[in-house]
Chain A
Amino acid sequence: DGGITQSPKYLFRKEGQNVTLSCEQNLNHDAMYWYRQDPGQGLRLIYYSQIVNDFQKGDIAEGYSVSREKKESFPLTVTSAQKNPTAFYLCASSRDRDSNQPQHFGDGTRLSIL
């Protein structure tokens, strides 16, 4: 089955520590996205990538970094500069260049501070 795999499901971060969230897709999609969701709120775009080795900042990129070295992988690093990282993080992918296509989502990673 094709889909998006996020890991881990739960993650804990200590003060001053960087942590990396994994996102892998086998849908052969060009575009990948990272969203942050806070309790009772909608999705906010952190970073997105339309093609390998290229990515752009979304609406709330400060304190986060990404890489896109392979088409199927788009890891997100939450750095120590992100002062309020506790949230539910969702990765998504879509076929690019076609506005009819929806985004497909992983099951999310819940990040908490120790």
Chain B
Amino acid sequence: GDSVTQMEGPVTLSEEAFLTINCTYTATGYPSLFWYVQYPGEGLQLLLKATKADDKGSNKGFEATYRKETTSFHLEKGSVQVSDSAVYFCALRGPYSSASKIIFGSGTRLSIRP
């Protein structure tokens, strides 16, 4: 079945460092891919999405490119801020997925030091 694998955390970086959080997936057909962010004590918010191969999703300085050949959707940011500290979830929604379910990765906790 469909699945998402993302790098384990926690990830700790200094402010202004470059961020990469790896995400790979297994799916039938051409899924849509998403990154969500969860701040402490809150629900998940959609950060960005990509719906077809080679699409690049971007928002708030974060980017991720849908790579069909490597089945990856890695999240990147050129210069992180303390306010980026949160848990990040990679997710997919497959075109043939029963009941339109979204499959989530296990989440990666990111902590940014001032």
Rounded to whole angstroms, the CA-CA distance of A31 and B105 in the bound complex is 21
Neighbouring B residues of A48 by C-beta, 8 Å:
99, 101
Interface residues on B, range: 20 to 34
Are A45 and B89 interface neighbours, CB within 8 A? no
Chain B nearest Cβ from A76, distance in angstroms: 14
Are A107 and B42 interface neighbours, CB within 8 A? yes
Are A45 and B51 interface neighbours, CB within 8 A? no
Neighbouring A residues of B22 by C-beta, 8 Å:
none
11 contacts between A and B (CB under 8 A): A33-B101, A41-B107, A42-B107, A50-B99, A90-B43, A92-B44, A99-B93, A99-B94, A100-B32, A101-B93, A104-B46
Number of residue pairs across A and B with beta carbons under 8 Å? 67
Neighbouring A residues of B99 by C-beta, 8 Å:
31, 48, 50, 56
Given contacts A103-B46, A105-B44, 8 further A-B contacts (CB under 8 A): A41-B107, A42-B104, A50-B100, A90-B43, A90-B44, A99-B31, A104-B46, A105-B43
Rounded to whole angstroms, the CA-CA distance of A107 and B49 in the bound complex is 21
Within 8 Å by CB of B46, from A97, A100, A102, lies A102
Q: In chain B, what residue has the closest Cβ to A108? A: B43
Q: Which residues of B contact A (CB under 8 A)?
A: 31-32, 34, 36, 41-46, 49, 51, 89, 93-95, 97, 99-102, 104-107, 109
Instruction: Tell me the residues in window 55-81 of chain A with beta carbons closer than 8 Å to chain B beta carbons.
Output: 56, 58
Are B100 and A31 interface neighbours, CB within 8 A? yes
Within 8 Å by CB of A43, from B31, B93, B97, B104, lies B104
Are A42 and B105 interface neighbours, CB within 8 A? yes
Neighbouring B residues of A92 by C-beta, 8 Å:
43-44
Determine whether A94 belongs to the interface, using a CB cutoff of 8 Å to chain B: yes
Within 8 Å by CB of A103, from B51, B95, B102, B109, lies B102
Within 8 Å by CB of B89, from A33, A42, A56, A94, lies A42
Q: In chain A, what residue has the closest Cβ to B106? A: A42
